[in-house]
């Protein structure tokens, strides 16, 4: 096997000569039970690599495997170094382990072709795990381990797995090439997250000729093009897995029926007011919105950044104010009282109303200076201004944004910056001098983003979706308030890089959901690194798509925006609880995944984005 070992995958037409494989994990290694043997062979012709495995039960007894019994390494270069190197020599790996139809579409982070594709040609995969070097913290997604589907092995019985690797020119080209493989049943739904009463059509197109296609055991009509259209009506809330079979081959599509964002917000705000606001004896925390452990049923506070009483948790206040502004205070007096108490807490413990200074935690704690906090505080006070029309709130929003720029914000990539909102509210209030002042600040920021282009600076993570999404959102918002085409052009270029983080797999966890893979560790109870599908900041991509669609009338981006925004709604539950992240892999470093983390922490920004 050693002579046949593949150590790199470089496509001939690539001027950058990128190696798509990692150097610290071997390609096509197999982990299997001790009673088993395995062999691998690789054959390469040009830019195509075919890898074949024979996995055999050598024992004297039968052996029934489960999903994690066998794993095959697939070490793609999905890791974050400095921004420029990432764009040319690193990739986003979009994985679909859908039984007989399984594939990986890997996209160079900068978007330049050729890109990397893999399609399973024999066998069945039903999940993947991740092995990470935790010393690299948030900057490395790890090595992927693909899991063959469970199988009953008689003594001496073999399993055959094979796939083909090839180059492609991007998402549409990958889709076109994948559909030509004789092993593939291509599945696409109009919507993957639906509200009650909505309908979606699921198109099922086998690459091979069949007369019958079955969905959950029921025969679906096949048209003259060999395609079935399955019509799904959203009735009862919950997850729906469509098991699809054609010609003896199987795959699946996963849909979610979820409550409308307004209903989720109503239940969420009631829960926050009743269970996540502190009313205990500790003075400095009184009125704070805190994280909540949905397993142990208690509030969470630690003097650790991502579990403190400031930072991202301000999103609870933003959601509360937005919801009350939309629905009115009548009938929601308890929630308004909660919000008023929270506002008092923010001004007492986090924000200096006179200077715009934003502190990191209760007690006016400034031990950690964090520019991210300023736009979030600005957004909170804008939402309070919209709700109560108290001039102080608009003034504090203005001072906070001004302080952000005074303290170095012009070169920063802040997540969720209310450019158009602050400009418009100052205009509506007749504060034209301040309106022009913030407009100039926003333009200066946007001009820096234009100059930097795709030369992204490292932030808390070296390179991530929430570095690119701020660039896109700020540039598009500045175009909205100025009408200058250079900002629209710059925003469009950022979108081209931003959309590479999103996949199109037929699964509501993955479809138009941005790749993120560290938030479960920093914000969750389980403290586990690994792919978070979804994580709520994925909605920032949806917001950028939505704004671009509104500014240009582009229907494609309007559809993608809706899919992206709905993609985070699975983080909210009908009892008003929520999860800070869904850990998607089967395991991460051997620890079980596939769970919604028990902490309701910072995720409410995602629901708020769906209410705009």
The predicted-structure confidence for 286-300, as pLDDT tens digits, reads as follows 999 999 999 999 999
CA 112/CA 330 separation, integer angstroms: 54
The predicted-structure confidence for 161-175, as pLDDT tens digits, reads as follows 999 999 999 999 999
Position 318 scores a pLDDT of 98
DSSP string, 249-274: EEEEEEEEE---HHHHHHHHHHHHHH
- pLDDT for residue 3 is more than 60: no
Would residue 249 be called left, alpha or beta, if left means φ above 0 and alpha means ψ between -120 and 50 degrees? beta
The mean pLDDT of 81-96, rounded to a whole number, is 90
Position 225 scores a pLDDT of 85
DSSP string, 27-73: TT-EE--TTEEEEEEEEEETTEEEEEEEEEE-SSS-EE--TTS-EEE
CA distances in angstroms from 238 to 192, 592, 610, 611, listed in the order given = 12, 22, 19, 21
The mean pLDDT of 377-403, rounded to a whole number, is 98
Position 4 scores a pLDDT of 65
The predicted-structure confidence for 210-224, as pLDDT tens digits, reads as follows 889 999 999 998 888
Q: Are 55 and 30 in contact (CB under 8 A)?
A: yes
- pLDDT for residue 560 is more than 70: yes
Position 81 scores a pLDDT of 87
Position 226 scores a pLDDT of 86
Write phi, then psi, for 130 (nearest 5 degrees): -130, 135
Q: Are 225 and 192 in contact (CB under 8 A)?
A: no
The proportion of the chain whose per-residue pLDDT surpasses 90, expressed as a percent, equals: 95
The mean pLDDT of 304-311, rounded to a whole number, is 96
The mean pLDDT of 493-507, rounded to a whole number, is 98
Position 2 scores a pLDDT of 44
The mean pLDDT of 152-161, rounded to a whole number, is 98
**Does 341 or 225 have the greater pLDDT score?**
341
Q: Are 479 and 487 in contact (CB under 8 A)?
A: yes
Position 82 scores a pLDDT of 72
Q: What is the mean pLDDT of the chain?
A: 96
Position 195 scores a pLDDT of 98
CA 236/CA 252 separation, integer angstroms: 20
The mean pLDDT of 522-534, rounded to a whole number, is 97
The mean pLDDT of 348-370, rounded to a whole number, is 96
The proportion of the chain whose per-residue pLDDT surpasses 70, expressed as a percent, equals: 99
For the ranges 61-75, 222-236, 258-272, 274-288, the lowest mean pLDDT is seen at 222-236
Residues facing 244 on adjacent strands: 215, 251
């Amino acid at each position: 096997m050693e002579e046949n070992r593949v150590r790199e995958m470089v496509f001939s037409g690539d001027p950058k000569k990128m190696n798509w494989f990692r150097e610290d994990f071997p390609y096509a290694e197999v982990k299997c039970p001790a009673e088993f043997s395995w062999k691998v062979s690789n054959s390469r012709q040009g830019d195509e690599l075919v890898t074949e495995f024979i996995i055999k039960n050598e024992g004297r007894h039968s052996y029934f495997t489960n999903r994690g019994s066998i794993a095959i390494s697939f070490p793609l270069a999905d890791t974050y170094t400095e921004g420029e190197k990432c764009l040319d020599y690193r990739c986003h790996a979009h994985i679909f382990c859908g039984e007989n139809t399984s594939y990986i579409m890997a996209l160079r982070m900068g978007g330049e072709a050729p890109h990397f594709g893999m399609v399973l040609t024999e066998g069945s995969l039903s999940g993947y795990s991740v092995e990470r070097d935790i010393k690299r913290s948030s900057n490395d997604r790890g090595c992927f381990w693909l899991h063959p589907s469970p199988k009953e092995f008689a003594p001496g019985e073999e399993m055959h797995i094979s796939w083909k690797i090839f180059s492609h020119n991007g998402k549409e080209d990958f889709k076109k090439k994948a559909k030509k493989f004789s092993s593939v049943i291509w599945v696409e739904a109009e919507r993957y997250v639906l509200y009650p009463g909505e309908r979606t059509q699921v198109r099922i197109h086998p690459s091979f000729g069949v007369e019958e296609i079955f969905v959950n055991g029921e025969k679906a009509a096949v048209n003259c093009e060999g395609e079935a259209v399955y019509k799904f009506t959203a009735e009862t809330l919950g997850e729906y897995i469509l098991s699809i079979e054609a010609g003896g081959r199987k795959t699946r599509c996963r849909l979610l029926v979820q409550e409308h964002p307004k209903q989720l917000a109503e239940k969420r705000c009631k829960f926050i007011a009743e269970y996540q606001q502190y009313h205990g004896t500790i003075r400095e925390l009184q009125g704070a919105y805190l994280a909540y452990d949905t397993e142990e049923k208690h509030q969470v506070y630690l003097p650790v950044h991502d579990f403190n009483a400031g930072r991202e948790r301000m999103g609870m206040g933003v959601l509360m104010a937005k919801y009350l502004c939309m629905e009115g205070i009548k009938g929601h007096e308890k929630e308004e009282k909660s919000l008023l108490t929270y506002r008092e807490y923010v001004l007492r413990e986090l924000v200096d109303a006179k200077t715009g200074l934003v502190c990191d935690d209760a007690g006016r704690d400034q031990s950690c200076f964090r520019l991210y906090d300023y736009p979030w505080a600005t957004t909170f006070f804008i939402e309070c201004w919209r709700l109560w029309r108290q001039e102080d709130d608009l003034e504090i929003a203005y001072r906070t944004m001004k302080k952000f720029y005074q303290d170095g914000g012009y070169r920063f990539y802040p997540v969720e910056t209310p450019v158009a909102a602050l400009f418009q509210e100052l205009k509506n209030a007749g504060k034209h001098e301040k309106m022009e002042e913030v407009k100039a600040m926003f333009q200066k920021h946007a001009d820096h983003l234009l100059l930097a282009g795709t030369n992204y600076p490292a932030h808390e993570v070296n390179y991530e979706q929430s570095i690119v999404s701020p660039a896109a959102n700020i540039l598009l918002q500045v175009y909205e308030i100025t009408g200058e085409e250079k900002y629209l052009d710059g925003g469009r270029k950022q979108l081209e890089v931003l959309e590479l983080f999103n996949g199109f797999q037929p699964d509501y966890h993955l479809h138009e959901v941005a790749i993120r893979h560290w938030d479960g560790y920093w914000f969750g109870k389980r403290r586990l690194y690994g792919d978070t599908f979804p994580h709520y900041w994925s909605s920032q991509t949806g917001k950028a798509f939505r704004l671009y669609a509104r500014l240009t009338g582009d229907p494609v981006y309007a559809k993608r925006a809706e899919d992206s925004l709905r993609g985070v709604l699975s983080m909210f539950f009908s009892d008003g609880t929520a999860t800070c992240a869904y850990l998607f892999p089967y395991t991460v470093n051997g620890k079980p995944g596939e769970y919604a983390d028990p902490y309701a922490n910072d995720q409410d920004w995602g629901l708020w984005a769906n209410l705009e």
